[in-house]
Amino acid sequence: MKNAVLSELFDQMADIMEILGEDKFRINTYRKVGRIIGDMPAEVETMLATGKLAETPGIGKSSLAKIEEFVKTGTITAHKQLLSKIPPTLLELLTIPGVGPKGAKAVYERLNVTTIADLKKALADGSVAQLPGFGEKKAAAIQRGIEFLEKSTGRIRLDQAMEAAELVCAFLQNTAGIEKIQPVGSLRRRVETIGDVDILVAAEKGEQIVKAFTSADFVQEVLAAGPTKGSVIIRTQTTPVHVDVRVVPGESFGAAAQYFTGSKQHNVRIREIAVKAKWKLNEYGLFQGDKMIAGPVEEEIYTKLGLDYINPLLREDRGEVEAAKSHSLPELIELGDIKGDFHVHTDASDGRASIAEMAEAAKKLGYKFICVTDHSKSSAIANGLSAKELAERIKQIHKLNDKLRGITILAGAEVDILADSSLDFDDKLLADLDFVIASIHSGMGSAREKVTTRTLRAMDNPYVNCIAHPTARLIGQREPMDIDITAVIKHAAETHTALEVNAHPYRLDLKDVHCKMAIEAGVKLAIGTDAHSVEGLGLMGFGVATAARGWVTKADVLNTLSLAKIKAWAKAKRPK
């Protein structure tokens, strides 16, 4: 959690410095430091104590001193000093789409605008449109940005973004003149939350495509409509979503897909390689002088630059460019590698389908197994099973397995880790299960040491095979526990315990950077949908994408093993 706060502080310092017109090099340095800290899989305190932070590329002596100050005091003097130079409410303007630091600087210095309310008045009386470099078009865009901000609840979950993209892509598929359609941006990279959905289209008559898109029945509000780009708010079943459709000619589609997929940091690295070769790379193509040498096909951009093709899931400037140069990119796990689901609930606890129904649905997905993991007794709100009920459930699963063909049900349980670090069921009962996942469902706001200790002690149990949703976060609803994830991963490796990648889009826990940290420590991952219905089994792709963003391969994941190997892996931890 400190990493996120510290990352935000460095970004905010960069924003203030840009508003004040200070040195661009320092501004870019602060932004880079903020990104590095935000991407760190380990806690900044741990990195600082071990000396690894000082060795991290991009963290200079000045930035390191500021980080040390924050860890010791919770504040950064330089940040306080910068804040004192501007009205604090001025930073609110940066939350408006279309208003960056330069825009905030202009309206502040020329119109004395310091709040969103001030800006709305200046827009209403025409003052903003009269500013140099603004005009009516820019003023109208800012007005729409304010309106969208007021209507929007902020970033949306990955599943919500995908719902919007599928709706728009299905509509565009039936629009005349379109050659190709590709979701791009953070959605294509499967980032856990999305600001707006970007769709790229290859077509010759851009204005015609934009007109059709902005006139669609699902459009709630048109924000912009030009010859090559349409920007709208659409209404899905769950939430309003900002969607942009960009139209490019077919000869530029590959370059545009690369450019608009991002991330920004990844693209900077790719453009640097092009510049060194004395070429120019942009959304229209890769050019040697005026000659296009790559553009229609995305893979060609990377090949021409001497790189292996980089999967969009890895494009975050976390070492993928270097790996592509040295031909050492991992072969990422794919949905087709998955042979079963380790986290499934039934109507015995808080699910909505029977064991047999869940097994048949899993079989249709091509799975060889599912692990039924109904809640334990302490999860009263989830109708958790008593010890007696679980024992009966195990017998029921064995009888079903005698009848089923083509799929095997593993008898499991999601066992609560109690406040005193003990488990909800005794070892004798746990020994009768094929696979045990343990998780924290209460006391999540407890001190760091307490929630960490509870998890570590659970892993010490010889019958616990996996820790489910290790940080207990709910995206957009609940912050992760203040847990020492570095210690959890280290102990998982020591105790032959897997860590879950919970595939539910509300969780995605472990998150991508923690997945990378886990596999580097030699920890096996188990992907589970946490399905409470037949439909819930279909969430596996979210977990696979999250794992892949963490550089996870097929060999790192238990779900890819045969049933015999899974049972042998689980048995290896148990007393001989």
User: Start-end ranges of CATH 1.10.150.110 in the chain?
Assistant: 2-151
Sequence-ordered list of residues with C-beta below 8 angstroms from that of 460, at least 6 positions apart, any chain? 495
* Residue 560 half-sphere exposure toward CB, CA atoms < 13 A: 15
pLDDT digits (tens, 9 = 90+) for 239-262: 889 999 999 999 999 999 999 999
| Torsion sign over Cα 121, 127, 128, 129 | positive
pLDDT of residue 154: 65
Which residues of the chain does CATH 3.30.460.10 include? 156-248
CB 252 within 8 A of CB 296: yes
Q: How confident is the model at residue 265 (pLDDT cuts 50, 70, 90)?
A: very high
Nearest partner of 542 among 313, 292, 278, 297, judged by Cα: 313
CA proximity to 90, closest of 196, 18, 172: 18
Distance CA 438, CA 463 (A): 10
More confident residue, 74 or 272: 272
Give the number of residues written for the chain.
576
Q: What are phi and psi of 348, to 5 degrees?
A: -70, -30
Q: Confidence class of residue 46 from pLDDT cuts 50, 70 and 90?
A: confident
- Mean pLDDT lowest among 116-120, 207-211, 303-307: 116-120
Q: Identify the CATH homologous superfamily for domain 2-151.
A: DNA polymerase beta, N-terminal domain-like (1.10.150.110)
**pLDDT (tens digit per residue) in 424-440:** 999 999 999 999 999 99
How does DSSP assign 288-332, residue by residue? ETTEEEE-SSHHHHHHHTT-PPPPGGGTTTSSHHHHHHTT----B
Angle between helix axes 116-124 and 135-151 (nearest 10 degrees) is: 140
Query: Which part of the chain is CATH 3.30.210.10?
Result: 256-325
Q: What is the mean pLDDT of residues 115-134?
A: 93
Q: Which fold has domain 256-325?
A: Beta Polymerase; domain 3 (3.30.210)
440, 472 Cβ separation under 8 angstroms: yes
Helices (H) and strands (E) in the chain, counts: 23, 17
Q: Which two tokens stand for residue 427?
A: 């070892």
pTM of the shown model = 0.83
Lowest mean pLDDT among 70-74, 315-319, 407-411, 483-487: 70-74
Across the range 321-344, mean pLDDT stands at: 98
pLDDT at 184 over 90: yes
| Superfamily grouping for domain 156-248 | Beta Polymerase, domain 2 (3.30.460.10)
Answer left, alpha or beta for residue 522, where phi above 0 means left and psi between -120 and 50 means alpha: left
Q: Give the closest residue to 287 by CA, choosing from 309, 305, 311, 299.
A: 305
pLDDT at 270 over 80: yes
More confident residue, 559 or 49: 559
The overall longest dimension of the chain from CA atoms, in Å, is 80
Highest mean pLDDT among 6-20, 142-156, 424-438: 424-438
Pairing mode, if any, of strands 498-502 and 369-372? unpaired
CATH number for the domain whose boundaries are 335-571: 3.20.20.140
**Average confidence (pLDDT) over 295-319:** 97
Model pLDDT for residues 51-109, shown as the tens digit of each residue: 989 998 889 999 999 999 999 988 899 999 999 999 878 988 988 877 889 999 999 99
SS3 140: helix
Mapped onto helix, strand or coil, the DSSP state of residue 520 is helix
Check: CB of residue 170 under 8 Å from CB of residue 178: no
| Best CA proximity match to 227, nearest among 197, 205, 203 | 205
Mean pLDDT of the chain: 93
Range(s) within the chain of domains with CATH label 3.20.20.140? 335-571
pLDDT at 153: 52
pLDDT of 1: 52
Distances in whole angstroms, Cα of residue 161 to Cα of each of 194, 217, 237, 270, 335 = 7, 18, 11, 27, 20
Give the whole-number percent of the chain exceeding pLDDT 70: 99
Q: What's the token pair of residue 147?
A: 């309106």
